Amino acid sequence: MNALLSGRFAKPLVFLSALGPVIWLIGAAAWDSLGANPAEAIVRATGDWTLRMLCLVLAITPLRKIAGLPVLARFRRMVGLFVYFYAVTHVLSYAWFDMGLDLADIAKDVGKRPFILVGFLALLFLTPLALTSFNRAIRVMGAKRWQRLHKLVYGVAFLALLHFFWMRSGKNNFAEVWIYAAVLGGLLGWRWQQFLEKKSANGE
């Protein structure tokens, strides 16, 4: 498996797979097959794929260690940038399709529906992570400061889940929320366990 994931075509295939949902949405919109409310379908789909990509990027390190697949690390940056891509697409879809890019209306909507503010905060926290996802940023910042900054991804995970929960609470529909909560809780719990084991090994 390591050899397969190290191949020259592995990264292009992962890239196309991650881009697939947007390609599908564009095709579905062109063929008018997004249902009675295409704008809502696009906003919801891009939000769902932001959460899925976030779960995937957080799963890379546990999978790499548990399954003995160190090569998975080469995909982490790409998947992380796709988290940001889908988050930006989600926010722009809302601002454009729902609000007509009217900043005054967006501000009023945020006041009426605080879960939108939580979503904007998640995007705000994601932005420095995307901007510093390159090797040069690590060299400029230093590895320790870079690692501390990228711990913001845990805050992003909490805000994204809260945004999703708050949105679904209006319709009292929490089935998917609990699935994402279980996945993200398991992934973050694994990291906490690793942190405690490292402290114990260091005698702290």
Q: Is the pLDDT of residue 204 over 80?
A: no
Q: Residue 149 has which token pair?
A: 């900054």
Give the C-alpha separation, 119 to 166, whole Å: 10
How many degrees, rounded to 5, is the angle at CA 55 between CA 164 and CA 195? 115
41-78 per-position pLDDT tens digit = 999 999 999 999 999 999 999 999 998 888 999 999 99
Q: What is the pLDDT of residue 203?
A: 66
Q: What is the pLDDT of residue 145?
A: 94
Q: Residue 123 has which token pair?
A: 């995007």
What is the number of structural domains in the chain? 1
- Domain extent at residue 78: 2-201
166-198 per-position pLDDT tens digit = 999 877 889 999 999 999 999 999 998 988 888
**CB pairs under 8 A, 24+ apart, for 114-122?**
114/166, 115/162, 115/163, 115/166, 115/167, 116/163, 118/159, 118/162, 118/163, 118/166, 119/47, 119/90, 119/91, 119/159, 119/160, 119/163, 120/91, 121/159, 122/87, 122/156, 122/159, 122/160, 122/163
Give the C-alpha separation, 194 to 184, whole Å: 15
Give the C-alpha separation, 7 to 5, whole Å: 5
16-31 per-position pLDDT tens digit = 999 999 999 999 999 9
For the chain, percent of residues with pLDDT exceeding 70: 99
Task: Compute the average pLDDT of residues 147-162.
Answer: 94
189 vs 60, 94, 163, 173, 192, CA distance in Å? Answer: 14, 32, 20, 25, 5
Which uninterrupted H or E stretch holds 182? helix 175-201
Mean pLDDT of the residues in the chain: 92
pTM for this model (two decimals): 0.93
